[in-house]
Amino acid sequence: MTDTITPASTADAAEADRALKAKHRAMWASGDYPTLASDLIWELGAQLVDAVGVRPGDRVLDVAAGSGNAAIPAALRGATVVASDLAPELFEAGRRAATEAGAELEWREADAEQLPFADATFDAVLSCVGVMFAPHHQAAADELVRVAKPGGRIGTLSWTPEGVIGRMFATMKPFNAPPPPGSQPPPLWGDELHVRELLGDRVDEFNAVRRTVAITRFRTGEEFRDYFKSHYGPTIAVYARIAEDPEQVRALDDALAALGREAGLDGSDRGMAWEYLLVTARRR
């Protein structure tokens, strides 16, 4: 016996999805993600642009662009760039950064799982630690492929499950609300086999490489923890959920500080190495 999809159940599902996306938008608008991106990982955007091979005259879409750490380098290559994100609150900082860099690009509010662009529009479609946070991975991957031209390049850069940020999400999981049905954890985009399955036989020239970015801003686990508590939407959201339970707050405080120490923060200047997976492919 199969379930029958009724108009009412379809409407309920659509309303649930709108509520989930509103929650995601509010999460990323909280804190100060543009400053975090500038302080810690701005260089990763240019690395992705290099890997994808963005050229002058290319039409490029940056999905879940945030404040544009991939979109701006792509525009500086001479590409025509659209930076899209579910949280347009991040665009103000992106526009300032683009102006300072001398880059011109378009900023467009868009859901990575329902991109408002026609099929086969872009020469390159990329996402730097962005699309990995769309809750429904297959839907987001389908959109990356759909809007790329045949022969167009697709590139993603995502935190791995085993790396520091992947481990941070695992650390926060027991304190967080259960995920909605059908949603998947962001760090799975840092697993090569998972991304291969998402893109499937619609792409060729698939390449995946693990790299690390050196983070030297923090000396102690407590500094690492407190920075994420004040800047990073997902961490802020977890702390907001447990704010009325001091015991849980202390437990999460201790766990995140311990993670920082395990990742190498010992009071010296040696810093941390955050692992990510860089994937490139070409649409068939």
Is 118's pLDDT higher than 90?
A: yes
Q: Is residue 144 part of a domain?
A: yes
Across residues 159-165, what is the average pLDDT?
98
Tokens representing 209 are 């490489």
- Distance CA(151)–CA(278), nearest Å, equals 19
Question: Is residue 22 situated within a structural domain?
Answer: yes
Tell me: pLDDT of 3 over 70.
Answer: no
> Of 189, 65, 52, whose CA–CA distance to 123 is shortest?
52
User: Taking a C-beta distance cutoff of 8 angstroms, is the pair 105, 83 a contact?
Assistant: yes
221: phi then psi, degrees, rounded to nearest 5: -60, -35
CA distance 103 to 74: 9
Q: pLDDT per residue over 164-218, tens digit each?
A: 999 999 999 999 999 999 999 999 999 999 999 999 999 999 999 999 999 999 9
Residue 264 lies in a domain: no
Nearest C-alpha neighbor of 159 from the set 4, 40, 257, 10: 40
* CATH number where 61 lies: 3.40.50.150
Task: Please give the model's pTM, rounded to 2 decimal places.
Answer: 0.94
Domain presence at residue 165: yes
Residue 133: C-alpha distances to residues 8, 111, 112, 172 (Å) = 28, 11, 9, 15
Q: Give 178: exposed, middle or buried? Use CB within 10 Å, 0-12, 13-18, 19+.
A: exposed
Report, as an integer, the average pLDDT of 136-162.
Answer: 98
Interatomic CA distance for residues 143 and 86, integer angstroms: 14
Residue 277 belongs to a domain: yes
Look up the domain containing 24 and give its range.
10-213+273-283
Give me the count of residues in the chain. Answer: 284
Q: For the chain, what is the domain count?
A: 1
Average pLDDT rounded to a whole number, residues 92-113: 98
Question: Minimal CA–CA distance to 41: which of 211, 244, 178?
Answer: 211
pLDDT tens digits along 30-46: 999 999 999 999 999 99
251 domain residue, yes or no? no
Give domain status of residue 172, yes or no. Answer: yes
Give residue 10's pLDDT: 76
Confidence at 4, pLDDT banded by 50, 70, 90: low
Instruction: Indicate whether 81 belongs to any domain.
Output: yes
Structure tokens at 266: 């010992």
